[in-house]
Structure formats: C-alpha cells, structure tokens
A and B are shown apart, each in its own frame.
Chain A
Amino acid sequence: MASVTMDYALVYSWADTAHDCSPDFDQARGAVGLAGDDAAGGLGGYQSAAAMASFVATWSDTMLDFAAGTLTIGDKLKSSANLVSASDTRSAQEIAASGGDSVQVDILPDGLTWVSGGA
C-alpha cells in the first residue's frame, strides 16, 4: 500500500495545461516545415541546403515528439488524479468545507499511473 497526498483538482488543472501546450508544438512543427520549403527556394546550389533539409527533418520530428509528449504527460497526470479522486471517501460537504485542499489516500500500486507506482 502506498500513500499519496494530493489536491487532485489542482492536478487536473495541470493536466489540462499540459494538454493545452501540445498545439503550440504542433504549430512549431508546421513552422519548421514551412521554413524548409522557403529555404529550398533560396539555398539551391549551396552546400547548406542539405544541412537545412536535415535540420527540418530532425526538428519536425522533435516538435512532433514534444506535442505527443505533453499530451502523454497530461494524460498521466489526469489518470493519477483520477485514482486519488476515486479513493477520496470524503463527502461533498467535507470537500467543500476543506476548500478543495489536499487529501491523503492509500493506493494499491499497480504500476499504471505515477500515483500507483508507474514511471
């Protein structure tokens, strides 16, 4: 049994923020691709053309990884908060009285979320 203390409402908000970052990196990926198109028009005949193409390919992938990574982090935050929320035995009145502050719960580790012992 593992013990966790969490303000899961706060963790939900972090999960949403992490999700919200993903489009930024998607758009960054798009901009890198457009840079490649423009550079192709200007670097014809120059040795830097190949290096630019390599840069565009690598950084498009990197920005894609960032977009996916922020979504995954948001998902894991949300599922961790879900576990704590589900284990919270307080009544609605008690939660309202506490102002939504942290609750301490005991969790059975299953390795599926951070809260339950996952990496």
Chain B
Amino acid sequence: MAATTSMLDAAQVASMWVDFAATRVGDAAKKAESGRSSFGTVRDGIAAGVGWSGTGQPAASLIVTAATTSMDTAAIRLRDVQTHLGAFSGAMAQAVAWWQEMSATLDKKKYAVADDGTVTLVPGVELADGDPSPGQLTSEVKQILSYLDAADETLTARLKAAVTDPLPVVGTYATLTLSANATEAWLAAKGPNAGMGPYATNPWDKSWTPDGNVVSGTAGAWDLAVLLGAPCLPGGVAYTGGGFLVGPDGKEYPVVTPQYAGKGGELSGHGPGAETLGGLDTGWQTLATYTGYDQLGEPLSTAEAGMVIAGAIAGAQYQPYTTVNASATQSLVLDEYGYPVAVADTPPGSTAQPPGVPASTYTYVVTDGKGQPQVGSYTAPGMPGGNLVAVGTNVAEGLAAVDQADANSYYTYQVEFQQNTDGRVRAIYTAYQVIDGPDGQYVQPYDVHFDEDGQMVLEEAGWTAPPPISEGGSSVDVHGSD
C-alpha cells in the first residue's frame, strides 16, 4: 500500500515504536550472542577430541559444531534486522522532517493537500506572483511519500530475506546434511562478508574491472542506498557521488565520495578520518580493493579522430598545454589511503594495454594551397597494408595527436568496496592520470561517479593529510591534494 500524508502525520510516533522494536531485536541478538559464546566452549572442547575420543565423539562434534554455526547465523540475522528496523525508523524521521518543513511554509488558506499527496488550490483563491504551482507542490509531497514507500519496500524485502533465506536449525541428530545446512544458512546470513569468515568460500571475482559493471540509477535510488540507515549528520557533512557499480561479488554498490572538512576546512574524500567523516559515520570496513589501468573515458570516435588528423594535415597545430603521460599513469604507486606517492620504475601488472595507435582506416577531406578539395584515406600504421598518403609528415602528427587524445581516456583506478556494520555498502572509486605540464610532471587524482545516464563524472579528489613522498620510484607532485 502506498504511503499517505496521514501516515506522514503519524510517522513521528510510529518511528519511535519502530525504534523500540529495533532495540528489542537487539536484545534478542545479545542473548543469542551470549548463548553462542557459552556454547562455543562446548564446541571447542568436543571438537578438539581431547577429553573425549572414540565412539560417539565424531557425532557429538558434528552436532555441536553445526549448532554453534547456527547460533552465529541467528546472531547475524537478528543484528541485521535490528539495523534494518533502525534504518527504517531513521527514514521515517527524515520523511517527517521534510514533511514538517514543507507544511510550515505551505499556506493552508491557498492550498489543500489530499491524503495521496495531491495539492490543489483552495476554491476561489488565485496564485500570486512567485507562488509555487499546485503541480510543483504535489511533486514535492509525492517525493516525500515515495521516499517513505521505498524505505518501506526495502524493509519488507529485508525482513522477508530473514525468513525465506536458509534458516539456522539446531539439530540434535548427526545427519549427513546437518553441517552443510548450517553452513548454507550462515553463508546466506553473512552475505558479502562470507569471504572473510570461518565457514566461507570466496565469492569475489579476482578478474573484476569497472568496465561493463556500471549501473546508472536515479538520484533518489542513490540517496536511499547511501543515506538509509546513515546516522544523522550535521549540516555541511555529507556524501556526494552517483550511480552504482556491480561489485566482484555480484552486488550493487552505490558510488560514493565522502565529503569531510578536515583541518583548514577543505572538503576531502580521502585520507585519515575522511572515510568516517571524522568519526561521525563509523563502522566501515573495506571488503576488497581493486586497482588497475584501463580505458574509463570514451575513446575518440573514428569521425573525431579523422577531424584531428584532417586538422593536422591542414596545418593546424596540436600542441596541448598539458598531455597525459600514459606510461607514467600506468606506473603509479598508491599508499594505503589511495594517495599517489610515486611513479614506479617498473610498471605493475595492469588489466589493459596502454593505448596504441588506432588501427582504423580514416578518410579525410582537405583543401590544398589552391583552394581545391582533396580526398584521401589511410590505414593507421601497425596494420598490414598501411598506406600513408602524400602529406606524410602532417598525417604522422595527426596520428600522434589521435594517440594522445586517446591516452586521455586511460586512467589508473582504485575501487574500494566497503560495508558498514549496519549493513550499508558503498564503493569509493578514484582515478588518476599523470600529466606532463609546462612546469613538470604531476598527478591529477579524480573522484569518480556516474550520472543518471551512466556517464562517468570526474571531480578533483582531495586528501585530508597528504603523506610525504615515499621511496620506490620517481616522486610525483599531486594536484588537488590538500
């Protein structure tokens, strides 16, 4: 059923009751954890086979081990549900805050709000200049209602998973499937953290790259994924970003950049303290970090490349003020906070080859010195039958220009997949290029996210406390680092 304004009116009190329920489930989890902790000593003793060996011990060991696994599963599930209820309570409180703010400024003598969120003009009233239209206000109210609906749907799905996923069972008979069933339930409860646990398999795809794993999403979907369950943060402290990455574990992670004002007030997404917003949003742990070198931006189209070459043939100068150094970009060394500290002497392994000369056949049209059009074509070098046309020098310059322009779309990247103890997940995606400029070489780091069309958006990245340049290669300057 869809949320209504009546529900918004009652949501403040309702939020309190849901919060109480979350506390109760937390109490249940605490008791399950206490029981598991005590029972663990029984499991440890029997499984060790020291105080008991021979007949009966294997069966007893199997049963108490499976029971302990099931108790772990129960505690995880109950903690998860506590978190989910707390998150929903938070979402209700957020919706109430928006609704109250809007209601306070809504002139009740002019507008009437129906229970489904539709706003109409009170009969006989006319809008003055600057008054919002009923349509605008309806849209605003319905956004609040749809936020509440989305949170409700999320909670519903999470509660259903806690009931329909494999459930923990304490068996008292040593059946063949007891251990497998207990482990299956534990894996389902543990989710993406399963790779780090005692009963775990490793579901993470080691060959993962960002390519092909971008999922666009509306700002509302991103907000919900990032903020649902987040603590209330003071003004000016927030996350930016957009879009989602399908992680190496197959789950969707919202792409996020923390915005933490460290010393000096500059907003930084990286470095000590940044990922927890200075301790305001704790509980994050990195599940996996993937780094590589790949083409992240759009390559030049054939037409664009042809234009660059045609320009060179026509005598246009392609002398960019700065150029991307592909080799150095590929050789960047990052520290634990993702800060570029050096360019390695030997490039590390990468997930893609650096850009080469495009192997395409181009057609160009230029005007000769007498004003007559000339049409030509060539196949880029490196391909059999390469056929550079007469204006060789300029074509070579054009090819170099195309090569350089293509290099601009290659980056070293780092993606950190993180999960909070309250269940939220996120990906922090950073890209880097080494730039050769008139004043020397420097590194340009970017925070990466995606717009609603799935297009990559790059914003200059910042660190709270850039470390000193380390050894191990040529040191580099970093732009936008403080």
**B45 to A25, Cβ gap below 8 A?**
no
Contacts of A77 in B (CB 8 A): 42, 60
Q: Chain B binding site: helix, strand, loop or mixed by DSSP? A: helix
The chain A residue with its CB closest to the CB of B56 is A114
**B31 to A17, Cβ gap below 8 A?**
no
CA of A80 to CA of B56, assembled, Å: 8
The chain A residue with its CB closest to the CB of B155 is A48
Produce 1/0 per residue, B445-470, CB < 8 A to A: 00000000000000000000000000
**A115 to B14, Cβ gap below 8 A?**
no
Knowing A6-B52, A11-B51, A70-B39, the reply to whether A39 touches B17 (Cβ < 8 A) is yes
Q: At the interface with chain A, which of B158-166, B236-244, B379-387, B433-441? A: B158-166
Contacts of B1 in A (CB 8 A): 45-47
**A70 to B170, Cβ gap below 8 A?**
yes
Which B140-169 residues sit within 8 Å CB-CB of chain A?
152-153, 155-156, 159-160, 162-163, 167-169
Find the residue from B20, B31, B57, B174 having the highest chain A CB count within 10 A. B31
CA of A34 to CA of B173, assembled, Å: 31
The chain B residue with its CB closest to the CB of A30 is B28
Q: Does B175 contact A (CB under 8 A)?
A: yes
Q: Does B285 contact A (CB under 8 A)?
A: no
**B171 to A69, Cβ gap below 8 A?**
yes
Knowing A28-B78, A62-B168, the reply to whether A11 touches B52 (Cβ < 8 A) is yes
Q: With both chains docked as a complex, state the minimum distance between the C-beta of B13 and any C-beta of chain A, in angstroms.
A: 8
**A41 to B64, Cβ gap below 8 A?**
no
Q: Chain A binding site: helix, strand, loop or mixed by DSSP? A: helix
Q: Does A95 contact B (CB under 8 A)?
A: no
Knowing A58-B167, A70-B35, A119-B173, the reply to whether A35 touches B28 (Cβ < 8 A) is yes
The chain B residue with its CB closest to the CB of A6 is B52
**By the criterion of a CB under 8 Å from any partner CB, how many residues of chain B are at the interface?**
70
Q: At the interface with chain A, which of B66-74, B196-204, B221-229, B424-432? A: B66-74
The chain A residue with its CB closest to the CB of B174 is A119
Knowing A21-B35, A38-B17, the reply to whether A10 touches B28 (Cβ < 8 A) is no
**B64 to A43, Cβ gap below 8 A?**
no
Q: Does A54 contact B (CB under 8 A)?
A: yes
Contacts of A85 in B (CB 8 A): none
Contacts of B156 in A (CB 8 A): 47-48, 50-51
Contacts of B152 in A (CB 8 A): 46-48
Contacts of A38 in B (CB 8 A): 17-18, 20-21, 24
**B20 to A117, Cβ gap below 8 A?**
no
The chain B residue with its CB closest to the CB of A61 is B167
**B174 to A69, Cβ gap below 8 A?**
no
Q: Does A3 contact B (CB under 8 A)?
A: yes
**A44 to B14, Cβ gap below 8 A?**
yes
**A66 to B70, Cβ gap below 8 A?**
yes
Which B9-54 residues sit within 8 Å CB-CB of chain A?
13-22, 24-25, 27-29, 31-32, 34-36, 38-39, 41-42, 45-46, 50-54
Produce 1/0 per residue, A78-119, CB < 8 A to B: 001000000000000000000000101001010001111111
Task: Identify 12 new A-B residue pairs, CB closer than 8 A, beyond the known A28-B28, A47-B156, A66-B170.
Answer: A17-B41, A21-B38, A24-B31, A28-B32, A28-B35, A35-B24, A35-B28, A44-B14, A51-B159, A62-B167, A73-B63, A118-B59
Q: Which 10 A-B pairs have the closest CB atoms?
A: A42-B17, A69-B170, A114-B56, A24-B35, A35-B24, A31-B28, A51-B159, A28-B31, A39-B21, A41-B17
Q: What are 14 residue pairs bridging A and B, where the CB atoms are less than 8 Å apart in the complex?
A: A4-B57, A5-B53, A5-B54, A17-B38, A24-B38, A32-B28, A38-B17, A43-B14, A45-B1, A46-B152, A52-B159, A70-B67, A115-B55, A116-B56
* Interfacial residues, chain B to chain A (CB-CB below 8 A): 1, 3-4, 6-7, 13-22, 24-25, 27-29, 31-32, 34-36, 38-39, 41-42, 45-46, 50-57, 59-60, 63-64, 67, 70-71, 74, 77-78, 81, 85, 88-89, 152-153, 155-156, 159-160, 162-163, 167-175
* Interfacial residues, chain A to chain B (CB-CB below 8 A): 2-7, 10-11, 14, 17-18, 20-22, 24-25, 27-29, 31-32, 34-36, 38-39, 41-48, 50-52, 54-55, 58-59, 62-63, 65-66, 68-70, 72-73, 76-77, 80, 102, 104, 107, 109, 113-119
